[in-house]
Amino acid sequence: EEESPGGQAAGLAGNWVSEVLAQVNRAVRREAPTAPSRRGVWRGRQFYGYASPFDLMLEVMDAQLRATVAYVVIEDASLFEASLQLAGAVQLVRRPPAMPLASLLAAVGQREERCVDCSAAEALGLAIAARVPLYIEEEVWESTAVRAEPVLLQSSAGPVLTLEVLEEELGDAGLFLFQPGEAFAEAEGGGAGPRQAWELESAEDLRGLSLEDKARTLLASENYQGPLPRARKVRLEGDGVLDDLLLPVMDEAVRREVMLERAIAQRDWAEIQRLSADKSVRSKLRDEVQRAEDSGEEDVARRLRRELELASTLRADITQDSGDYSSFLDKDDWYERDRRRAMGLPEEEEPPRP
Instruction: Using the predicted structure, report yes or no on whether residue 12 has a pLDDT greater than 50.
Output: no
Q: Identify the H or E element spanning 94.
A: strand 83-94
298 has a pLDDT exceeding 80: yes
CATH homologous superfamily of domain 45-143?
Bifunctional nuclease domain (3.10.690.10)
The alpha carbon of 20 is separated from its chain's Cα centroid by a whole number of angstroms, namely: 44
Q: Strands 176-178 and 83-94: what pairing?
A: parallel
Averaged pLDDT for residues 176-188: 48
Dump pLDDT digits (tens) for 48-99: 677 888 998 998 888 888 889 999 999 999 999 888 899 999 999 887 776 5
| Mean per-residue pLDDT of the chain | 76
The reported pTM is: 0.66
The pLDDT assigned to 77 comes to: 92
Tell me the one-letter amino acid at 279.
Answer: K
Structure confidence by residue, pLDDT tens digits, 101-123: 555 555 556 678 889 999 999 99
Q: Is 29 exposed, middle or buried (0-12, 13-18, 19+ CB in 10 A)?
A: exposed
In terms of pLDDT, which residue wins out, 338 or 171?
338
**41: pLDDT strictly greater than 60:** no
What is each CA distance from 39 to 13, 35, 45, 48, in whole angstroms?
42, 11, 10, 7
